[in-house]
Amino acid sequence: MEFIKKLQDLDRRWIYLIVALAIVIPLLIPFNAPTYTTSPTEKLYQMIDSYSEREDRAILICFAHDASTMAELYPMEVAILRHCFERDVKVFTLTFLPTAAPLINYAIDMVKEEYPEIQSGTNYINIGYKPGALYLPIVVGMGDNIAEAVETDAEGRKLESLPMMKGLTNYNELKLVIETSGASFAGGWITYARARYGVNVAAGVTAVMAADAYPYLQTGQLTGMLSGMKGAAEYEYLTDVFAAYSSDDYPNGRPFSKQVLKDKEEISKIDIAKKYDPETKTGIMYKWKTARLGMNAQSVAHMMIFIFILIGNIGFFIDRHQQNKEKK
């Protein structure tokens, strides 16, 4: 009883300190927490992977957020770009927010550091920022002709003159649109691009937005979805297990398999806690595992908060019981 009373009277600053340490320590001392993938993430991964090395297939990533939601959305964008560059999947990037344009460049430049063979205009096209007033003309116009709906890329080059456009005309080839946003879940793409042209639409959303998007997953209007840092961690994980995996049997990565995901011996080889060694190229580079390390810290912090809530409730009811006894 005395111990519980002391806990109830504990200065809240100690609680803040403990929670802060629960976040910081896992970031400084990483560990291999298990990553369980969900169906919306797996479906998105498999669809993108099916476009590997195809001249007549491409995806579009629409950056619909600014720096305020980077912690959750940026890792998933990096993971998707890495997957595409690993598998030779053609990528368009686009934004209708001026504050998101630097984030596109930042993400592409970060991933390209490890893929020197990837070339702008050949492997990817950054359309860059387009004013919001052009949203509807571009979304609908791409259904007829991509190069006419968006005439130039971020560097001012004509799309029709770029090598990547060979074999790409409209949504018949641009088969998937992914919008990453902290405020919506690709509603405009669903309403105009999917309803009229049948293009596949997926979303990358912050965790608080996921509940609003699930009905669209259930109806099939969303092909896949990444939900917050958890979704980003799952996609990082799938990329390491499959796209970034190489061996004599699978020099370009191996195909997706549920059985591989269940194989603990194979998965144990993916050590995110190990520091990356550039000479031996062992371990995983920090930028490829930011979401998983973030999930480690988030999991520990949530556990600490749960313990504090549990202790607080036990203390409350014991205190209430003691008061009732004293009244009697």
* Confidence (pLDDT) at 61: 98
- Give yes or no: residues 14 and 149 share one domain: no
The total number of structural domains in the chain stands at 2
Under-70 pLDDT residues of the chain:
1
Two tokens at 315? 């203390």
What range does the domain containing 73 cover?
39-270
* Confidence (pLDDT) at 83: 97
The answer to whether residues 170 and 117 touch, using CB atoms and an 8 Å cutoff, is no
- Give yes or no: residues 13 and 142 share one domain: no
- Give yes or no: residues 131 and 251 share one domain: yes
- Give yes or no: residues 76 and 164 share one domain: yes
* Confidence (pLDDT) at 1: 65
* Confidence (pLDDT) at 268: 82
- Give yes or no: residues 162 and 311 share one domain: no
- Give yes or no: residues 231 and 161 share one domain: yes
- Give yes or no: residues 138 and 113 share one domain: yes
Instruction: Evaluate whether residue 281 is within a structural domain.
Output: no
- Give yes or no: residues 84 and 213 share one domain: yes
- Give yes or no: residues 23 and 49 share one domain: no
This prediction has a pTM of 0.92
- Give yes or no: residues 190 and 309 share one domain: no
The answer to whether residues 268 and 44 touch, using CB atoms and an 8 Å cutoff, is no
Instruction: Evaluate whether residue 276 is within a structural domain.
Output: no
The answer to whether residues 203 and 178 touch, using CB atoms and an 8 Å cutoff, is yes
- Give yes or no: residues 17 and 74 share one domain: no
The answer to whether residues 84 and 91 touch, using CB atoms and an 8 Å cutoff, is yes
* Confidence (pLDDT) at 279: 85
The answer to whether residues 30 and 293 touch, using CB atoms and an 8 Å cutoff, is yes
Instruction: Evaluate whether residue 249 is within a structural domain.
Output: yes
Instruction: Evaluate whether residue 138 is within a structural domain.
Output: yes
CATH number at residue 242: 3.40.50
Instruction: Evaluate whether residue 110 is within a structural domain.
Output: yes
* Confidence (pLDDT) at 41: 97
Backbone φ and ψ for 139, nearest 5 degrees, come out as -60, -45
The answer to whether residues 185 and 68 touch, using CB atoms and an 8 Å cutoff, is no
- Give yes or no: residues 315 and 202 share one domain: no
